[in-house]
Amino acid sequence: MKQKVIICDHIHEKGVEILKNAKEVDLTIAYDSPKEKLFGMLGEAELAITRSSTPVDTKFLEAAKKLKYVIRAGVGVDNVDIDECSKRGIVVMNVPTANTIAAVEMTMCHLVCSARSFVNAHNELKEKRVWKRENWYGTELLGKKLGVIGFGNIGAKVATRAQAFGMEIIAFDPYVQPSKVTSLGMTFTTNFDDILACDIITIHTPKNKETTNVITAKEIAKMKDGVILINVARGGLYNEDDLVAALKSGKVRFAGLDVFAKEPATDHPLLDLPNVSVTPHLGANTIESQINISVQSAENALEVLRGVSYPNALNLPIKEGAMPAWASAYCELTQRMAFLAAQTLKSSIRSVSVSANGEVAEFLESLGVFAAVGALNKAIAEKVNYVNAPFVAKERGLEITTRIDEGESPYKNLVTVRASDDNESVYISGILFGNESPRIVDINGFDMDVLPKGKMILFKNNDLPGVIGKVGTLLGDNKINIADFRLGRDKFGKAMALIIVDNDVSRGVLDALAALPEAIRVSYAEL
């Protein structure tokens, strides 16, 4: 049965085409419709894709009576009433990494321009036709200390690029492991005053209660005279009134800003100051990032509708800010492994257990919730989210357990999901490489190294010569292209192949694979 998706704001056509061609999607395109007409189109929508121009507020939600999911095509969710969505059981997601490089490069643009007063020199020559080199002495980046507030995807990449200029990097982020910073030859600090002592400060955090006005007159007073401040993240992280005063006094030598507390900011005191470079929120405005945002939004929508996962869900059943990004990534990996495990079982799933070692074991309760969502979304017809998963599991008699794994393991932060039905069980283990790249590393004792995504054939067989050739030939004869082929072997003469393919696999093809004399077990899954 097709599920109804509505696109409320313009996204790149590549993402639109993905949804148009998806067999499970009934697509409504509303981005060229007036807002008053949009509300009349929301009634049947189960998933809405928005950008910043459509407020997802009470009026929107009252019109969207059947809405289950909202995907904000971009990073900021200022226009989405997350609390109200949560009360209604609507899962809110964003696309935080699609414009990473665009935001990083815009930050570097402001960093270099601020150090060299580029905008003023440019305007004086081009607009006034004045050639006075002595007016524009800049400062070199080499040897300067750069304070990075927020060391996520964007902050970390800004830091590595600044390091190439010969800058010394000091990073502050209470939600990352210190090794993520120190392994790059940078300094990690838990003392915010270390940031305030830097020559240049750049901020890369979300906007929330904790980060709004994180830099005020109090913090500026502790800074070096002539400090340079950069903000390409969200408006309001720096107190703008205090920033104006500091720029006028010269305490802050220069500021490079792409964002403002209230936008559009066409009549703002900051625009009147000569020691400010400004752009109209262009951080994501590259051709490449707009394509990435669109495609990722569409792909994430399909994962949601298929019950694979809820990528980058923002209203999770955990305290806001309590879970670092790497732990959230482990939660999504756990959900994917549970979804995969449930698909490999032949009958109804009865129990799911999650075990973990290392630091990720601190988040076992959340891992268990995500595993329940993954298992249940395969097992039952109605969709399950992070809010109702524990209740649905109890109703269905699905036992969800968690435990700390105290056994020896070659991996730190290994998570294992074991799913069982009345006759058999399957376990799948996974890790994040570098806390960023998810990998399945073990399936029922067979070593693997595979990204948990795509159309997958799991083929267990007696480990004899010629099996891989037979499997490849059979798939080729059925015009099924192999994208990846991972093979694990045990010491008992058995092997398991995890084959990722580009095409749908019919029941007939799976039966043909199972009929091969060497085959022991064949299953198919889509992630």
Q: What is the pLDDT of residue 320?
A: 40
- Rounded CA separation 38/32 (Å): 9
Q: Which of 227, 229, 238 is closest to 277 using CA atoms?
A: 229
Burial of 126 (0-12, 13-18, 19+ CB in 10 A): exposed
- Rounded CA separation 23/331 (Å): 28
Q: What is the pLDDT of residue 317?
A: 56
When pLDDT is cut at 50, 70 and 90, the band that residue 314 belongs to is confident
Q: What is the pLDDT of residue 435?
A: 59
In angstroms and rounded to an integer, the radius of gyration of the C-alpha atoms of the chain is: 26
* Cβ neighbours for 330, distance < 8 A, ≥ 6 positions apart: 356, 360, 363, 367, 413, 415, 432
Q: What is the pLDDT of residues 222-239, one digit of tens each?
A: 999 999 999 999 999 999
Q: Which of 100, 418, 430, 52 is closest to 264 using CA atoms?
A: 52
Q: Which of 364, 381, 366, 368 is closest to 307 using CA atoms?
A: 381
When pLDDT is cut at 50, 70 and 90, the band that residue 268 belongs to is very high
Q: Which of 81, 82, 137 is closest to 320 using CA atoms?
A: 82
Mean pLDDT is highest, among 78-87, 190-199, 394-403, for 190-199
What average pLDDT does range 454-468 have in this prediction? 92
- Structural domain spans, the chain: 1-96+285-315, 100-278, 319-452, 454-527
The CA-to-CA distance between both ends of the chain, in Å, stands at: 19
Mean pLDDT is highest, among 160-174, 372-386, 388-402, for 160-174
Q: What is the pLDDT of residue 316?
A: 63
Active site residue 234: yes
**Considering the domain 454-527, what is its CATH architecture?**
2-Layer Sandwich (3.30)
Q: Is residue 284 a contact partner of residue 259, using CB atoms and an 8 Å limit? A: no
Q: Confirm or reject CATH 3.30.1330.90 for domain 319-452, answering yes or no.
A: yes
When pLDDT is cut at 50, 70 and 90, the band that residue 318 belongs to is low
Q: What is the pLDDT of residue 399?
A: 87
* Cβ neighbours for 278, distance < 8 A, ≥ 6 positions apart: 256, 257, 258, 270, 271
DSSP states along 124-163: HHHTT----GGG------TT-EEEEE--SHHHHHHHHHHH
Q: Which residue has the higher pLDDT, 225 or 315?
A: 225
Beta bridge pairs of residue 196: none
DSSP designation for 51: -
Q: What is the pLDDT of residue 344?
A: 87
Q: Which fold has domain 100-278?
A: Rossmann fold (3.40.50)
Strand ordering across the sheet containing 91-94: 25-29, 3-7, 47-50, 69-72, 91-94
Active site residue 406: no
Set 13, 263, 288, 424: catalytic member: 263
Q: What is the pLDDT of residues 83-119, one digit of tens each?
A: 888 778 888 999 988 889 999 999 999 999 999 999 8
Q: State the number of CA atoms in the 13 A half-sphere of 348 facing the CB.
A: 8
Q: What is the pLDDT of residues 151-169, one digit of tens each?
A: 988 999 999 999 999 999 9
Task: Tell me, yes or no, if the two domains 1-96+285-315 and 100-278 fold the same way.
Answer: yes
Report residue 191: phi and psi, to 5°: -105, 110
- Rounded CA separation 474/462 (Å): 17
Question: Which has the minimum average pLDDT: 59-73, 401-415, 506-520?
Answer: 401-415
pTM above 0.75, yes or no: no
Set 234, 268, 336, 486: catalytic member: 234
Q: Which residue has the higher pLDDT, 58 or 423?
A: 58
Q: Which fold has domain 1-96+285-315?
A: Rossmann fold (3.40.50)
Is it the case that residue 381 has pLDDT exceeding 60? no
Q: What is the number of other CB atoms lying within 10 angstroms of the CB of residue 325? A: 18
Q: What is the pLDDT of residues 319-368, one digit of tens each?
A: 444 577 788 889 889 999 999 998 888 777 888 999 999 889 989 988 99
User: What is the rounded average pLDDT for all residues in the chain?
Assistant: 90
Is it the case that residue 408 has pLDDT exceeding 90? no
Active site residue 133: no
Set 12, 281, 336, 418: catalytic member: 281
